[in-house]
Chain A
């Protein structure tokens, strides 16, 4: 049976993917303006996701002819770099996951335990069929949306709406810096799921991809503002996981305590999805070369990421993200954009050639 996923499922999948990095870590450098940074990310997500969609469509058209195949062979040489980027993001997600668990709930548990637990989950999600991954993400999407709405509704009576003012208090430099990090490390990495799942997508799906990205950014905008309105600024800037800490102070009744779990569950569900979807391009390529090759590729990538995570335990993951954002922008946004522009130009030239009258 052919693997097929719908545009709607892609939207759910992208929402879960983008929530995987942003919901709890937040945009640290943006201070009180982090919600504005997420709102701007929403505007930025539309052209970037549309670009990934067009690139996937044109690549599929182009792959059939001879020159296209030569180009694909050339780009295969660079595939190793993309593979390393995917493994790197996997390691970062693992690191945030371990940090989150050890600083909130399992304070005395060895780091190895969450690393093994999440690695197994990521492995399963990376090797399963695209339609199975899409169905899993649909369930996670429903739960994510439900918990996001519940968390907001529970916090509403306690919100100090004035706490997000004044805007741009420390200028726009911090916010621009944070937006740059988010564009590279959250939006840029959406290249992997869109490109990897494109062959399995049926019907028109570009609009769904854009909607999924915009919805994720909208949720993060609202939640980021909610966190500031709950805890206040500058206190919120002291915490490593602001969304989780902010929900700790929400009090609905004596019976409903520990509402931070609403945020924690979303975080714990979305992070493995992000890590696994980054690996799917790699596992797809391995499967094309040899049947069953995806298992070996996923196992190697997950083991490498787990090894890196164990090594970087004393390094702040957010600092690594900041250091890696420029290469990520080049690799995941600038190069695909250039490739897309070239393909669009070629398509235009070919169309003109076909429509122009024959020379007499």
Chain B
């Protein structure tokens, strides 16, 4: 028994040799942190723009991280990424990637290969946000960041702030991947533009890129984006402009009754107004007409594009699987023929700061 106990102790002691830490660790100075990537297509090649962050220099930088862009190319995404390492010299660390910018041309050719690449790599996080550039990804990433020197961080912050004002969708990559793979719904992404800000090009995220399958099929402006987000079931923000008056959305609820030939949209929304801009029932009636016609116009536009971005098909599938099976195969055509009715019920609350 003594010998057995000695053997067990020896085995346990040997196991301790496995515990000191990672066998192949990399010191942080050997890693280059990547906060964002951009993909463009140029001819048959993939153009990859990688933003890298370096340590702040001691003097003159006020502790701000320094950012620079690396441009590399390849016949495949993997080749472009490998070529990147040849230029940077360091191991690129992708776990901090916040955004992936996809150029318009690349989006029109199909985005699944980028999503699939990111999904398959353990180094990327599933919460990163893809963005479609209304031009090339390179131009957007070169645009000046206003608050920091790292444009990818800034793009992520703009997206996060959009969550309350409903001017662009904030979609993590896993949700986009599921929308592309699932029947009865199409993928949407935020759309980014370059705008002139005091003589310098800066990035602005506003509007929606619509996909049919994995290909860019069209875009929505800021107002249409707000209504699309409402149809997707989340009414927690946004504004409605009636003439010169602006009504801020407090909360609301969308209910969709989806059949194979008809869709009934019911929307109740509570808004706030300045005292002077509210004229009782008349204002509410005008708001109702405006919202109903805007939503009907949006649905018509989606039907023309054959893009069920609101997910009417998915609603039908969840509510009535038998009926869905009959139309599933030709849903895009069927979606174009749907008879859609909209009923909005706006209510306005007046908030006063003074007793006047």
Contacts and interface: CB of A to CB of B under 8 A. Distances in A.
A233 B182 contact: yes
A110 B24 CA distance: 10
A109 B25 CA distance: 10
Given A106-B22, A109-B23, A232-B175, A295 B127 contact: no
A295 B7 CA distance: 10
A123 B174 contact: no
A235 B174 contact: yes
A165 B324 CA distance: 12
A120 B182 contact: no
Q: Among B174, B181, B182, which residue has the most Cβ atoms of chain A within 10 A?
A: B174
Interface string A72-85: 00000000000000
A65 interface: no
Contact of A234 (B7, B18, B182): B182
A103 interface: yes
A292 interface: yes
Contacts of B14: 120
Interface string A295-330: 100000000000000000000000000000000000
A109 B22 contact: yes
A109 B181 contact: no
Contacts of A233: 178, 182
B5 to A, nearest CB: 10
B120 to A, nearest CB: 9
Given A103-B122, A107-B122, A169-B321, A231 B174 contact: yes
Interface in B301-325: 317-318, 321, 324
A249 B4 contact: no
Nearest to B23: A109
Q: Among A113, A235, A292, which residue has the most Cβ atoms of chain B within 10 A?
A: A235
Contact of A251 (B1, B18, B127): B127
Nearest to A165: B318
A120 B318 contact: no
A120 B11 contact: yes
A235 B172 contact: no
A349 interface: no
B174 A292 contact: no
A169 B328 CA distance: 12
Q: Among A120, A251, A292, which residue has the most Cβ atoms of chain B within 10 A?
A: A120
A249 B176 CA distance: 13
A120 B22 contact: no
B177 A235 contact: yes
A232 B11 CA distance: 45
A103 to B, nearest CB: 6
Nearest to A169: B321
B182 A232 contact: yes
Contacts of B12: 120, 124
A120 B15 contact: yes
Interface in B174-199: 174-175, 177-178, 181-182
Given A109-B24, A248-B125, A235 B4 contact: no
B119 interface: yes
Contacts of B175: 232
Nearest to B25: A108
A103 B23 CA distance: 16
A166 B24 contact: no
A116 B8 CA distance: 14
A235 B181 contact: yes
A166 B183 CA distance: 12
B103 to A, nearest CB: 25
Q: Among A106, A109, A249, A251, which residue has the most Cβ atoms of chain B within 10 A?
A: A249
B263 interface: no
Contacts of B317: 165-166
Nearest to B15: A120
A234 B178 contact: yes
Contact of A104 (B7, B119, B122, B174): B122
A123 B11 contact: yes
The secondary structure that dominates the B interface is helix
B126 interface: yes
A116 B182 contact: no
A166 B320 CA distance: 8
B318 A238 contact: no
A187 to B, nearest CB: 30
A359 interface: no
B122 A248 contact: no
A141 B8 CA distance: 26
Nearest to A117: B18
A110 B321 CA distance: 48
Interface string A99-130: 00001101111100100110010011001000
Given A113-B18, A116-B18, A295-B4, A249 B122 contact: no
B168 to A, nearest CB: 19
A104 B95 CA distance: 12
Contact of A249 (B18, B174, B321): B174
Nearest to B324: A166
A245 interface: yes
Contact of B127 (A116, A120, A234, A249): A249
A108 B24 contact: yes
A357 interface: no
Nearest to A162: B318
A104 B126 CA distance: 13
A107 B22 CA distance: 11
Contact of B126 (A103, A117, A245): A245
Contacts of A108: 23-24
Interface string B126-156: 1100000000000000000000000000000
Contacts of B125: 248
Contacts of B119: 238
Nearest to B19: A117
B303 to A, nearest CB: 23
Contacts of B24: 108-109
Nearest to B181: A234
Interface in B299-356: 317-318, 321, 324
Interface of B: 1, 4, 7-8, 11-12, 14-15, 18, 22-24, 119, 122, 125-127, 172, 174-175, 177-178, 181-182, 317-318, 321, 324
Q: Which 10 A-B pairs have the closest CB atoms?
A: A166-B321, A232-B178, A235-B178, A165-B318, A120-B15, A108-B24, A234-B181, A162-B318, A295-B4, A117-B18
9 contacts: A107-B122, A120-B14, A127-B8, A234-B181, A235-B182, A248-B127, A249-B174, A292-B4, A295-B8
